[in-house]
Amino acid sequence: MEYHLTIPLNKNDIIQLNAGDIVYLTGTVFTARDEAHARVLEIEEKGEPLPFDLNGAVIYHCGPLMQQIDNKWHTVAAGPTTSGRMSKMTPSLLEKFNVRALIGKGGMQNVSESLRDKCVYLTYTGGCAALAAISIKNVSKVHWLDLGMPEAVWELDVVELGPLVVGIDSKGCDLLSDVRENAKQAFSRI
Amino acid sequence: MNHKIAKDAVVNATIDILTKAETQLPSDVIYALKQAQMRETSQIAKAQLSAILKNIEIAKEHSIPMCQDTGILVFFVELGRDAHLDFKLEDAIIEGVRRATETIPLRPNAVDSLTRKNTGNNTGIGLPDIKYELVDGDKITITVAPKGAGSENMSAITMLNPTEVDSIRNFILTTVLNAGGMPCPPIIVGVGIGGSFDKAARLAKSALLLDIENNPEKMDERDELERDILNDINSLGIGPMGLGGDTTALAVHIKTAHCHTASLPVAVNIQCWANRHASITLGGDE
């Protein structure tokens, strides 16, 4: 199935999706990599407010290449980064915030229970940074630039970002993990 | 007659090859991706390869980097013994990297390994990584191969026992299996066998610069070994981006060196589909 969804996403948008479905997203996504995840959790721990709202939000595992021209940020290239690095921090993050979708590449480990009934993991084709850049129409804000360009949180306004493949759905189906298990079995036969 | 090579020429050449490498993929890789796209039986895999091919076209057309991970910059310099330079070659390459970071632009990826502080210009202690090789003649050939972290992080090295030659294939396959979808498959696998701990890794990295051969008639024993390992890798079914499919790797390239009778080092350097590299030759009689 193919879906064209608008952010902010609600629970119904999410629970209809099955692993292997194709999704295109329109709206604002927040980039966040290792350092941003760590800082979100650190701030939450202290009980302080975040400078952005993660409820109904989409987190994009991406360290974009940006360029500032006349005080305005532009996206040069913005493909997904390896989501596996964020696997350990994701369950705590999903416990605290109603994030509806994560976008990345390469799959995630031990997060399907945290996604259950509320969130999906979408994969975007790794390396497709130029393709992503043409669907990013505006850079609305940047937070935490002190972390460096790749690690900062960028608010990107996207139109029809995709094709995104549902990698882990909200019912516990994990396409990438299934592929990995099959690969292990194929390996044992060689 | 011996032509002097000017510093500016090296700075500009560095910017030129960096721009080309980051925005245009070598034709052998594009050909291999197109073949894979036509052959794939999985619809999800086909869609991934189509997205990659579309991305390559957009990057070339708009002259923008094909991937936001513009890599750490690895240079291979073939330095002619009779080339005449009255400046520090590494200074010119570093200057080229600084300028290209602004002009292309490149993502600033160089950080202090412990404090993680970003230098902002892709240079730092040991970066760019410049490898020199002396060759005959009076020319300099500079090759740049930007290396993204997603695939580099999935690479591995092992020191096998000398009697474990038969385990080499197993080590390569295990490395690819453990990498799964993380290094942005379809990958290119560079293998270095022999030498020493560091030499094996250097061989593996330089193997990634080899062209993807598509001529079965020209195959020798090494090519057959590479092809057999490639077939084994593709039988794992990891597929483009780890979403399943027939194309996990586009090529396996093996380089060997003699080694200590008591050693068998094996290095596997994983490269994502964006096997970016470009070269230029300067100097000599024109």
What contacts A42, CB < 8 A, 6 or more positions away?
Answer: none
B51: nearest CB among A76, A131, A176? A131
The predicted pLDDT at position B220 comes to: 84
Q: How far B54 CA lies from chain A's nearest CA (Å)? A: 7
Q: Which amino acid is at A103?
A: I
Helices vs. strands in chain A: H and E counts, helices first: 6, 9
Q: Does B159 touch chain A (CB under 8 A)?
A: no
Report the half-sphere exposure of B206 (CA within 13 A, side-chain side). 21
The predicted pLDDT at position B236 comes to: 98
Q: How far A188 CA lies from chain B's nearest CA (Å)? A: 10
The predicted pLDDT at position A142 comes to: 97
What's the CATH code, domain A2-189? 3.20.130.10
For the four alpha carbons of A38, A137, A19 and A53, in that order, the dihedral sign comes to positive
State how far the Cα of A25 lies from the Cα of A5, in Å rounded to an integer: 5
Q: Does A128 touch chain B (CB under 8 A)?
A: yes
* DSSP string for residues in A57-94: -EEE----EEEEETTEEEEEE----BGGGGTTTHHHHH
A130: chain B residues, CB-CB within 8 Å? 55-56, 58-59, 62, 64-66
Interface test with B, best of A109, A166, A187, A189 (most B CBs within 10 A): A187
Q: Does A145 touch chain B (CB under 8 A)?
A: no
The predicted pLDDT at position B2 comes to: 56
- Kindly provide the b/e burial profile for residues B82-102, where b requires at least 16 CB atoms within 10 angstroms of the residue's own CB: ebeeeeebeebbbbbbbbbbe
pLDDT digits (tens, 9 = 90+) for A4-14: 999 999 999 99
Confidence (pTM): 0.92
- Could you tell me if residue B239 is inside a domain? yes
Q: Does A129 touch chain B (CB under 8 A)?
A: yes
pLDDT digits (tens, 9 = 90+) for B171-205: 999 999 999 999 999 999 999 999 999 999 999 99
Q: Do B153 and A82 touch (CB under 8 A)?
A: yes
Average pLDDT along chain B, 286 residues, taken 10 residues at a time: 82 98 97 97 94 96 95 97 94 98 95 94 97 96 97 97 97 97 96 98 97 76 92 97 97 97 98 98 78
State how far the Cα of B108 lies from the Cα of B155, in Å rounded to an integer: 22
Q: Do A130 and B62 touch (CB under 8 A)?
A: yes
pLDDT digits (tens, 9 = 90+) for B57-68: 999 999 999 999
Q: Do B243 and A180 touch (CB under 8 A)?
A: no
Print the domain residue range for B212.
150-271
What residues of A act catalytically? 37
A125: nearest CB among B48, B69, B244? B48
B48: chain A residues, CB-CB within 8 Å? 125, 165
Q: Does A104 touch chain B (CB under 8 A)?
A: no
Interface test with B, best of A125, A147, A151, A168 (most B CBs within 10 A): A125
Contact between A119 and A56 under an 8 Å Cβ cutoff? The reply is no
User: Which tokens go with B264?
Assistant: 């068998």
State how far the Cα of A105 lies from the Cα of A83, in Å rounded to an integer: 6
Q: How far B65 CA lies from chain A's nearest CA (Å)? A: 7
Cα distances (angstroms) measured from residue A76 to each of A92, A187, B23, B57 = 32, 40, 12, 15
Q: Which residue of A has its CA nearest to B243?
A: A176
Domains contained in chain B, number: 1
Listed residue (B127, B89, B90, B129) closest to B108, CA to CA: B127
- Could you tell me if residue B94 is inside a domain? no
State how far the Cα of B37 lies from the Cα of B276, in Å rounded to an integer: 19
Q: Does A134 touch chain B (CB under 8 A)?
A: yes
* DSSP string for residues in A91-133: HHHHHHS---EEEEBS--SS-HHHHTTT-EEEEE-TT-HHHHH
Domain residue ranges in chain A: 2-189
